C-alpha cells in the first residue's frame, strides 16, 4: 500500500506548478559586449526582500544571449523586485527595478514580459510597463526561450523602455 501511495504522489508533485513569471532581456556593456550570467567581469544578483519567501533567480535562455529574471512564489508576486548588476573591476552598480507583471487590459494576469536590450549604466533603472488597458491589449506576443513546462510566450514591452 505504501509503495502504491508513493507512486501516486510522486507524479502529482512533479506536475505541480509554482506560480510566477519571467522578465526576459539582453544586457550589454557600454561598448555593446553581451553580459551573461556567467560573465566574470560582472555579477548579476537578485535582491531578495528580507521579509518575503519570494523565489528570485536569473537564468539564461538556450541562445545564451537572453537572460530571464524569474519571480515566483505564493506571496510577493505583486511587489517590485530588484536585480543588481555589479561591474567587478570598478564596483559600479546598476539596479534594475522590475514591477509586478500583473497586466492591465481585457485579461488581467501575470505575464512573461520581454524588456528588450538594456545597457549597463551605473544607477537605477525602472522597467516601464504599458500605461493603459488598450496598450496592454495591443502588445505583441513573441515566442522564444521556453521555461521548464515548455511555455514560450512573452509579451513585448521593449518599445516602452527608453533611457
Residue 1 lies in a domain: no
Q: Is the pLDDT of residue 9 over 50?
A: no
**Where does the pLDDT of residue 50 fall: very low under 50, low under 70, confident under 90, or very high at 90 and above?**
confident
Pairwise CA distance, residues 13 & 106, whole Å: 32
Residue 2 lies in a domain: no
Residue 96 lies in a domain: yes
Contact call for residues 136 and 127 (beta carbons, < 8 A) = no
Residue 97 lies in a domain: yes
Q: Count the domains in the chain.
A: 1
Global confidence as pTM: 0.86
Higher pLDDT among residues 162 and 123, named by residue: 123
Residue 8 lies in a domain: no
Provide the residue range defining the domain that includes 128.
18-160
* Bridge partners (DSSP) listed for residue 11: none
Residue 153 lies in a domain: yes
Contact call for residues 150 and 142 (beta carbons, < 8 A) = no
Residue 100 lies in a domain: yes
- 50-57: long-range contacts, CB 8 A cutoff, minimum separation 24: 52/76, 52/79, 54/79, 54/81, 55/18, 55/20, 56/81
Residue 11 lies in a domain: no
Amino acid at each position: 500500500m505504501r509503495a502504491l501511495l508513493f507512486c501516486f504522489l510522486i507524479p502529482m508533485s512533479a506536475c505541480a506548478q509554482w506560480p510566477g513569471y519571467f522578465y526576459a532581456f539582453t544586457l550589454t556593456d557600454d561598448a555593446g559586449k553581451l553580459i551573461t550570467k556567467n560573465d566574470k567581469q560582472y555579477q548579476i544578483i537578485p535582491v531578495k526582500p528580507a521579509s518575503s519567501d519570494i523565489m528570485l533567480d536569473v537564468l539564461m535562455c538556450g541562445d545564451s544571449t537572453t537572460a530571464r529574471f524569474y519571480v515566483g512564489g505564493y506571496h510577493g508576486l505583486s511587489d517590485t523586485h530588484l536585480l543588481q548588476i555589479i561591474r567587478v573591476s570598478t564596483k559600479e552598480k546598476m539596479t534594475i527595478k522590475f514591477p509586478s507583471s500583473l497586466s492591465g487590459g481585457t485579461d488581467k494576469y501575470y505575464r512573461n514580459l520581454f524588456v528588450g536590450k538594456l545597457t549597463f549604466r551605473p544607477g537605477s533603472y525602472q522597467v516601464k510597463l504599458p500605461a493603459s488597458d488598450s496598450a496592454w491589449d495591443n502588445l505583441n506576443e513573441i515566442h522564444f526561450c521556453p521555461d521548464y513546462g515548455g511555455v514560450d510566450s512573452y509579451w513585448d514591452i521593449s518599445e516602452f523602455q527608453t533611457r
